[in-house]
Each structure stands twice: as C-alpha cells, then as structure tokens.
Amino acid sequence: KLITLLKGKIFDVVVDFRKDSPTFGQWAGTYLSAENFEQLWIPPGLAHGFLVCSDEALFNYKCTEYYYPQDEKTILWNDPTLEIEWPLSASPILSAKDECGTSFEAEAK
C-alpha cells in the first residue's frame, strides 16, 4: 500500500506482522501531510494505522491487491504489548471497527 496525503496531516504507524522478520512486533511512525509531500510504502505483512492531526484529512491509497474485508484484522490502537507512542492531547475518536480491536498477541497467532 502506498499512502499519500492530499489534504491535512496524520501520524501514520506501521507494525511488523511478519513472524519470520527480525522486527516482528515492532512499530514505526511518521508524519505525512499535504505540505511535506512525503509518501509511505507499507509492504505486505505490515499492519497500518493512523491518527488525524488536523481538522480533516484526505488520503490517496495505491494498493498491490484487491481489498478483501474478510482478511482484515484490527489491533487495539493502545495495545500494551506494542506501546505505540501516539501524539495525543486528548482521547481519540475511534471508528466502530477500531473500538472492537483485539490484542496484537491474539492477532499474531
């Protein structure tokens, strides 16, 4: 998945889900914005999440495969195992899907 921001600013996070990877279970985060023109490539096997840091955000995704909802997994945004350092000033507004996320350990089995 290649992500580009057309409007706004986000903090974008990837988590390595590849069990044979030396970085399995580790995360990395970066800011993407319409102003910095940076893009983020997320290879297969990595999970993806984001926090909108502006009033609104508009994304463009380019994917290497069709979207199959039945294959989607949702990890808790605040999973204590991952310890993602989200740049929050208040509690986030979550989608219904994100509110029902499961732990990294449960999804990684």
Summarize pLDDT for 25-63 with one digit per residue, the tens. 999 999 999 999 999 999 999 999 999 999 999 999 999
pLDDT of res. 50: 96
| Number of alpha carbons in the 13 Å side-chain half-sphere of residue 1 | 17
Say which residue, 79 or 109, is predicted with more confidence.
79
Using the predicted structure, report yes or no on whether residue 72 has a pLDDT greater than 90.
Answer: no
- What is this structure's pTM? 0.91
DSSP reduced 3-state for 84:
coil
Residue 10, token pair as written in the block:
């986000």
Q: 100: part of which helix (H) or strand (E)? A: none
Contact 14, 3 (CB under 8 A): no
Domains of the chain: 2-107 (2.60.120.10)
Percent of residues, the chain, with pLDDT higher than 90: 86
Using the predicted structure, report yes or no on whether residue 109 has a pLDDT greater than 90.
Answer: no
Using the predicted structure, report yes or no on whether residue 7 has a pLDDT greater than 90.
Answer: yes
DSSP 8-state symbol, 107: H
Contact 49, 94 (CB under 8 A): no
